[in-house]
Amino acid sequence: MPRPGGPLPIDSVLPALRDALRTAGAAVLQAPPGAGKTTRVPLALLDEPWLGARRIVMLEPRRLAARAAAARMADMLGEQVGTTIGYRIRHDTRVGTGTRIEVVTEGVLTRMLRGDAGLDQAGLVVFDEFHERSIHADLGLALTLQSRAILRPDLRVLVMSATLEGEPVARLLGGAPIITSEGRTFPVETRHVPSRDDVRVEARVASAVRRALDEDQGDVLSFLPGAAEIRRAEHLLQGVDAEVIPLHGNLSRERQDRALRAAVPHRRKVVLATSIAETSLTVDGVRVVVDGGQARVPRYSPRTGMTRLATVRVSRASADQRRGRAGRQGPGVCYRLWSPAEEATLLPRASPEILDADLAPLALDLADAGVTQSADLAWLDSPPAAAFEAAKQLLRRLGALDEVGRITPHGQRLARYALHPRLAHMVVQGRELGGGDLACELAVLLSERDLLRRADGPSDPDLGSRLELLRGSGDRLEVDQEALRRVRTEVRACRRSGGGSRPSSGSPPSAGLVLALAYPDRVAQRRPEAGGRFLLTNGMGARVESGALAQEEFLVAAELDGRPSDGRILLALAVRREELELHFASAITREDVLTWHSEVLAVVARRRRRLGAIVLDEGPIPDPDATAVRTALLDGIRFEGLARLPWTPGALHTRARLAFLHRLDARWPDVSDESLSQNLENWLGPRLGAARRIQDLRHVDLGQALLDLVTPADRRRLDELAPTHVQVPTGSRILVDYTDPDSPVLAVRLQELFGQVTTPTVWGGRMPLTLHLLSPAGRPVQVTRDLAGFWQTAYFEVRKDLRGRYPKHHWPDDPLTAAPTRRAKRRTDSGT
């Protein structure tokens, strides 16, 4: 039995909880921080008849919380961890043959379900702090409910949360009862301390901590977004009369436990923590909370395929969780480093991770459990369909899934590793190439926190420098020793998991080649221009801002800043062209590319070898496919515009005649720029021959090409309706100008029309031409569409002017009886 302790609010609802689990087989427990749910509930259920000799498996979202919960429950029983109470976390298991309660972390539960879908040794699965809505917790619950529905109807499920709305979860559990407990918190005074946006969060936190040490009693728990801000705040708090202790997930177990212990007598404690201290944990002695109001969360971009840690404002639920830390052991104070007005804009709660995460690990876990479609499981929030399909596409490219979504033998090997599928693929393939140890090193370096401490981003993008530090050959003052210790531990674990090298007949692979196995879509080729700019095989642009990597011909970018174009490469390795040619030969494509070049107005044919979007090499094609050339030439003409074609005056005249006819009757072909561009293949294509440039079209009769659009019957009517020329009384054949289809023009010397009364016409006599009557010098003196009216009226005014300007010409009194003439001068009486 547990050691006697003070009553907790959870005690009053334990009978109802036992009854719900006994009758309904599932329950939702809502209990605020301080109620005692994490440690009291599992112990209270150990003797339930339905549990029998089976175990309780309790899921905790964080390793620190899992160890702390197990230690607290074991202490309540007066035992050591590993007897009745045990835990399983990555690389650390304390479980014995008599263990009845196993506290596990989220990834461990998923692996347990993959190994034993029925969880035969368990009678109850408890999901603690489910309000955090991690993707692992959602997956674990979905798989547990599937097991319960198919294999283990007797398996009980309990979901516990401090802030989550219980009704949706209860519906997911089949209408499970909701049990609500009061919390046990002491009064907490909230003090808002707004600050300027240009002051960094660690400076604001440090200032508030100093104030709290001066004005308030008890130890201080401060919340910052990440380890870098914690280090800087620790530096800013040097000299305060308190023990300053960091607390985040990448610290050693000993340093984490140090933060949870009570302070040295007569000396206060300041804990600088990430969101790891929001829930489950009780940091002994804390009476003051300083909340910087920020958290660091992963954000995945399907467009770039990158997951980046983003600093975001906390939700209202998280802020209340943090505030509650100050009232766990007595009255407290919470400093919120924002204004009351800003508080009103906080989101009610954080978005579930499954809606924003990279779903490739989830898709692999599901496939390994025999689930090919996410819709086959019951979810509180279903994985977004597009993101899930993109994840499966990646797994297919890695060879982890077959075409219908079933896991392959290679995928099963990948699922053995607690790594992203990309990195697991790199380890497995690297081992085949004789570089398994190197692959493990790279995989862990990319999975864990950067070894080099950084203020505003990595100053050195060369991943090779991290390899040197890991192997002990580097000497860098800014190395993060905690991260280095953790990476070395994880590398050893990776190698034990089968990541060692197999003998290889060839030379061992370079680090760049091994990295390319994980990121074939991020192999990058330096662009010809200077400036460290690269093109990735996925088509994105990226850049290296400085250093030797900026001069390399080929890189593999492991991490970028997430911008969709011209992103900054944060971590990369150089890779040799020869290695890419050899090991990615199956991905290299050969293609003939015909492109239009505006500079020379010609089709340029090149034969290329490509790796994704990057061109490895190219050269001219001596005999390109004629059909492809014609298509490219026509596309080029469309791009340049029809005005670029070598139109002759005759061709332009033909086009104008057809435009005139189409204006009056739509049955005639449309020869506008838009229509001709759309219809190039029909009227121009057959006449291109071997042409590759616009200049070659000088030998093409464009007018005759346009006439090919006219039916044979209409060709016979064309000259009748839109004659090229009109014969005037002198016998001259004058060209008709159809440039304006609404008003065709006949420009003729006035003297050549002497004796003609009717206005010349087109369109079968239905449209009079617009006459531009010209002087002997060819200049217009009158425009008319009524020749008879001109002779009767306006001619005499024009005649006065022309007689003065051209006195040697004949300007008769009666133009209708005068003989027309082409001659510029009047004949003399002698006939000369």
pLDDT recorded at residue 459? 65
Q: In the structure encoding, which two tokens stand for residue 496, read together?
A: 């034990």
CB–CB of 773/794 below 8 Å?
no
CB–CB of 227/296 below 8 Å?
no
CB–CB of 520/537 below 8 Å?
yes
Q: How far apart are CA 86 and CA 101, in angstroms?
A: 6
**Which CA distances in Å does 635 have to 324, 526, 594, 683, 692?**
68, 30, 11, 14, 12
> Is 397 exposed, middle or buried (CB count within 10 Å of its CB: 0-12, 13-18, 19+)?
middle
Nearest 5°: the CA angle 723, 726, 731 is 145
Query: Facing residues of 293 across strands?
Result: none
Residue for token digits 């009758």? 23
- In the chain (832 residues long), the average pLDDT of successive 10-residue segments reads 67 95 96 87 95 95 90 94 94 92 90 85 94 91 94 95 87 95 85 90 96 95 93 94 90 80 81 86 87 90 79 92 88 95 91 92 93 92 93 95 95 92 96 94 91 65 92 76 88 79 72 97 90 92 90 94 84 96 94 92 94 94 92 95 96 97 95 96 93 94 95 91 96 96 96 96 96 95 96 95 92 94 59 36
Domain range 9-180, CATH architecture: 3-Layer(aba) Sandwich (3.40)
CB–CB of 280/65 below 8 Å?
yes
CB–CB of 24/17 below 8 Å?
no
Q: Of 362, 419, 402, 403, whose CA–CA distance to 140 is shortest?
A: 362
| Main-chain dihedrals φ then ψ at residue 309, nearest 5 degrees | -75, 125
Q: Is 792 helix (H, G, I), strand (E, B) or coil?
A: helix
Q: How far apart are CA 202 and CA 298, in angstroms?
A: 21
Where does CATH 3.40.50.300 sit in the chain?
A: 9-180, 188-355
Q: Of 769, 770, 735, whose CA–CA distance to 653 is shortest?
A: 735
DSSP secondary structure of 185-242: ---EEEEE----TTS-HHHHHHHHHHHHHHH--SEEEEE-SSHHHHHHHHHHTTT-SS
Parallel, antiparallel, or unpaired for β 101-105 and 122-127?
A: unpaired
Residue for token digits 């008709």? 736
**Which CA distances in Å does 338 have to 253, 275, 389, 651?**
33, 17, 40, 76
Sign of the CA dihedral with 267 first, then 273, 278, and 281 last: negative
User: Which residues, other chains included, contact 426 with Cβ-Cβ below 8 Å and sequence gap of 6+?
Assistant: 439, 442, 443, 514, 515, 517, 518
Q: How far apart are CA 423 and CA 440, in angstroms?
A: 9
Dihedral, CA atoms, 598, 601, 603, 605, nearest 10 degrees?
A: -70
Q: Is 83 helix (H, G, I), strand (E, B) or coil?
A: coil
Sign of the CA dihedral with 356 first, then 360, 361, and 367 last: positive
Q: Of 381, 195, 389, 225, whose CA–CA distance to 294 is shortest?
A: 225
Q: How far apart are CA 590 and CA 827, in angstroms?
A: 80
pLDDT recorded at residue 166? 87
Q: How far apart are CA 591 and CA 586, in angstroms?
A: 14
CB–CB of 767/740 below 8 Å?
no
3-state secondary structure 691-735: CCEHHHHHHCCHHHHHHCCCCHHHHHHHHHHCCCEEECCCCCEEE
DSSP secondary structure of 741-801: TTS-EEEEEGGGGTT--SPPEETTTTEE-EEEEE-TTS-EEEEES-HHHHHHTHHHHHHHH
Helix residue spans in 556-625 (DSSP H)? 577-583
Q: How far apart are CA 781 and CA 747, in angstroms?
A: 11
DSSP 326: G
DSSP 817: T
Q: How far apart are CA 148 and CA 119, in angstroms?
A: 9
Q: How far apart are CA 710 and CA 315, in angstroms?
A: 72
CB–CB of 364/374 below 8 Å?
no
Indicate left, alpha or beta for 285 from its phi (over 0: left) and psi (-120 to 50: alpha): left
Residue for token digits 């002198």? 730
Q: How far apart are CA 704 and CA 83, in angstroms?
A: 98
Q: How far apart are CA 582 and CA 512, in angstroms?
A: 14
Q: How far apart are CA 682 and CA 690, in angstroms?
A: 17
CB–CB of 446/559 below 8 Å?
yes
Query: Facing residues of 586 across strands?
Result: none
* pTM, entire model: 0.79
Q: How far apart are CA 584 and CA 554, in angstroms?
A: 14
Q: Of 444, 445, 447, 450, whose CA–CA distance to 479 is shortest?
A: 450
Say which amino acid occupies 234: E
CB–CB of 185/33 below 8 Å?
yes
The secondary element (H helix, E strand) that includes residue 466 is helix 463-470
Q: How far apart are CA 508 and CA 439, in angstroms?
A: 12
- Alpha-carbon 489 to chain mean position: 33
Q: Of 73, 560, 90, 77, whose CA–CA distance to 305 is shortest?
A: 560
- How many other C-beta atoms lie within 10 A of the C-beta of residue 4? 7
CATH 3.30.70.260 is right for the domain spanning 188-355:
no
CB–CB of 438/427 below 8 Å?
no
DSSP secondary structure of 366-416: HHHTT---GGGS--SSPPPHHHHHHHHHHHHHTTSB-TTSPBPHHHHHHHT
Dihedral, CA atoms, 377, 378, 380, 385, nearest 10 degrees?
A: 40
Q: Is 16 helix (H, G, I), strand (E, B) or coil?
A: helix
pLDDT recorded at residue 454? 62
CB–CB of 83/99 below 8 Å?
yes
pLDDT recorded at residue 827? 47
Q: In the structure encoding, which two tokens stand for residue 354, read together?
A: 């499954």
DSSP 785: S
Q: How far apart are CA 305 and CA 522, in angstroms?
A: 10
CB–CB of 310/297 below 8 Å?
yes
Q: Of 1, 102, 116, whose CA–CA distance to 54 is shortest?
A: 102
User: Which residues, other chains included, contact 501 with Cβ-Cβ below 8 Å and sequence gap of 6+?
Assistant: 430, 431, 434, 435, 436, 437, 438, 508
Do you know the residue count of the chain? Answer: 832
